Amino acid sequence: MRVAFLTATEGIEQVELTEPWEAVARAGGNPSLVSVEPGRVQAFDHLDKADTFPVDLTVAEASAEDFDALVLPGGVANPDALRLNTAAVALVRSFFDQGKPVAAICHAPWMLVEADVLRGRTLTSWPSLRTDITNAGGTWVDEAVQVCSAGPGTLITSRKPDDLPAFCETLLAELKG
């Protein structure tokens, strides 16, 4: 199973990238880091710089057809910057158009708002996104993990790093199922 992890060039919450990545790899999957520019992306531990990670593909090189699923890590700055990139937004939308699973954690649902894929869907996120999600036609819930199969594909969402065990378990179950 090939899983795309889509990020901006910086501002990614490191643990929200590394834990799902490692879970996919341990399950025998092939994770790929997709970003808006080649090179490396800068992760953060909340507001402090953490590690950098090599980009496997740029958004311009990536296609939903080449992957089985999409993971959107959070961090406040990451999705906020990423949603300004029209090609990245189009890539997210294409995963939904093709009915492929999409998993988003923390602030990452901002990309889903921008991609206009939330109407009729139920999801969770960091609490500050509640109004944005509701205004985009989604229903926000305060749950550790939320799975929504309304519409094409399955949407898996979680609120914060503390939810990562449930998020990763649910993601892997979806990929295996």
Continuous H helices in the chain: 14-26, 77-82, 86-97, 109-114, 130-135, 164-176
Contact 11/19 with Cβ under 8 angstroms? no
Mean pLDDT on 52-57:
98
Dihedral sign from CA coordinates of 12, 55, 133, 15: negative
The average confidence (pLDDT) of the chain is 97
Res. 17: pLDDT tops 90: yes
Mean pLDDT on 74-96:
97
- What is the Cα–Cα distance from 130 to 153, expressed in whole angstroms? 22
Nearest 5°: the CA angle 124, 133, 144 is 5
Structure tokens at 48: 């402090």
Position 51 scores a pLDDT of: 98
* Superfamily of segment(s) 2-176: Class I glutamine amidotransferase (GATase) domain (3.40.50.880)
Give domain limits for the chain: 2-176
E strands along 8-159, which residues? 10-13, 30-35, 40-45, 48-54, 57-58, 69-72, 102-105, 122-123, 139-140, 145-148, 155-158
Position 151 scores a pLDDT of: 83
Q: Which of 46, 107, 148, 168 does the annotation list as catalytic?
A: 107
Q: Which of 46, 106, 148, 168 does the annotation list as catalytic?
A: 106
Biggest alpha carbon–alpha carbon distance for the chain: 38
Res. 50: pLDDT tops 90: yes
pLDDT, one tens digit per residue, over 147-159 is 999 988 899 999 9
* pTM for this prediction: 0.98
> For residue 41, which phi and psi values (nearest 5 degrees)?
-110, 150
Question: Among this protein's residues, is 46 annotated catalytic?
Answer: no
Structure tokens at 154: 């399955």
Question: Among this protein's residues, is 106 annotated catalytic?
Answer: yes
pLDDT, one tens digit per residue, over 117-130 is 999 999 999 999 99
Contact 171/157 with Cβ under 8 angstroms? no
pLDDT, one tens digit per residue, over 18-43 is 999 999 999 999 999 999 999 999 99
Q: Residue 96 is which amino acid? A: F
Mean pLDDT on 99-111:
98
Contact 159/142 with Cβ under 8 angstroms? yes
Res. 177: pLDDT tops 90: no
